[in-house]
Structure 1
Amino acid sequence: MDVISAYGHDVVVVREGAAEVVELAHGGAFHLLVDGGPTGGTFSANRLTLGEGADGAKPHFHTASSELFYVLAGEMEFLLGERLVTAARGSLIVVPPRVHAFGAAPDVTADVLVIMAPGVERFEYFRQLGRIAQELAAPDSLLPEQDRFDVHFADSAAWPRVRTR
């Protein structure tokens, strides 16, 4: 990532291959593009690749941020409240601070750009998810960090029901 001065402000430039990559167990990965700090908290962005039918995130919500998803390739499933929405390549989904979950559609891989606004320093959250995926950390290790990363885990009977159909 480069931060250059232009227009009297700092401009963030992340070139192809420059993002930190956090590997996930299902063959996917987080590509950490920009965290909230370099953008002055206006947004943060990552690219998420998911293996066939892999969960991207279990039910959760953010108290301060909306989350924008742009499906670059494949097909995604989103739980929005109690409703399952399928989104193919080229689809844009904007989720306000409400309970949601997402993953690759069954038998399909997915590639999605994720932007949160306002931005939160969350790269360490994604790194911890990578450690959990590699069984180097316990899944509940994120519980004490929910406020820090503005990721609050939620119960939903709908998500396991629709994901195991």
Structure 2
Amino acid sequence: METENKTGLIVRPEAAEHVALPHGGGFHLLADAGDTGGALGANRLTLGEGADGARPHYHALSTELFYVLDGRVEFLVGDERASVGQGGMVIVPPKVAHAFGAAAGCTAELLAVLTPGVDRFGYFRALGRIQHGMDSFDSLLPEQVRYDVHFLDATTWRSARTA
């Protein structure tokens, strides 16, 4: 998939693995921690109209950066809600709760970077299976430490998204 050499990592668009999501979106898996010597992990996420991207969670070890490539995204970062459009960026430090999804009536495309990296391609593949009804969300619960994704109660986020 990637070409690694002494000067860096090159990922061509056609080489990135695509994990389809049922709302017409999907993950483009760009770099996993193993590809970057642990420096970072990166993916491009396309969300269908009004689709959730991630329920409330935090990362114990890593900072996550989101850059909105297209559309509009609703974020929850700690207790703050924000709507961020194309060209906007959100940075979430370790241990800060966050969630996100495409704004109502909008599609969205984001670049997400996690640093230091954690091997999470397996996590994104599992999310694809869950969203297609091939597995249950509960199957991810034992993997929270492995993927450094620690899930939180989603009740408030869900009610805010449907309001």
Q: TM-score normalised by the shorter chain: which range applies?
A: over 0.9
**Residues 52-131 of structure 1: pairs in structure 2 closer than 5 A:** 52-97=49-94, 98-131=96-129
User: Is 1:155 the equivalent of 2:153?
Assistant: yes
SS at 1:42's partner residue? coil
Q: 1:138, 1:26 → 2: CA distance?
A: 17
Matched to 1:84, the amino acid is R
SS at 2:127's partner residue? helix
Aligned equivalent of 2:142? 144
Which runs of 5 or more structure 1 residues have no equivalent in the other structure?
A: none
8 A contact 1:82–1:158 mirrored in 2: no
SS at 2:13's partner residue? coil
Q: 2:154, 2:46 → 1: CA distance?
A: 24
Q: Identify which of 6, 11, 24 aligns with 2:8.
A: 11
Matched to 1:41, the amino acid is G
Q: 1:56, 1:71 → 2: CA distance?
A: 12
Q: 1:123, 1:72 → 2: CA distance?
A: 21
8 A contact 1:29–1:49 mirrored in 2: yes
Which 4+ residue blocks in structure 1 deviate beyond 2 angstroms?
1-5
User: Is 1:45 the equivalent of 2:13?
Assistant: no
Q: How much identity, in percent, do the aligned residues show?
A: 55
Which runs of 5 or more structure 2 residues have no equivalent in the other structure?
A: none
Q: 2:31, 2:116 → 1: CA distance?
A: 12
Matched to 2:23, the amino acid is H
Q: 2:137, 2:4 → 1: CA distance?
A: 38
SS at 2:66's partner residue? strand
| Alignment length (residue pairs) | 162
Aligned residues: CA RMSD = 1.1
Matched to 2:120, the amino acid is R
TM-score normalised per structure 1: 0.94
Matched to 1:67, the amino acid is E
Q: Which has the higher helix share?
A: 2
8 A contact 1:53–1:106 mirrored in 2: yes
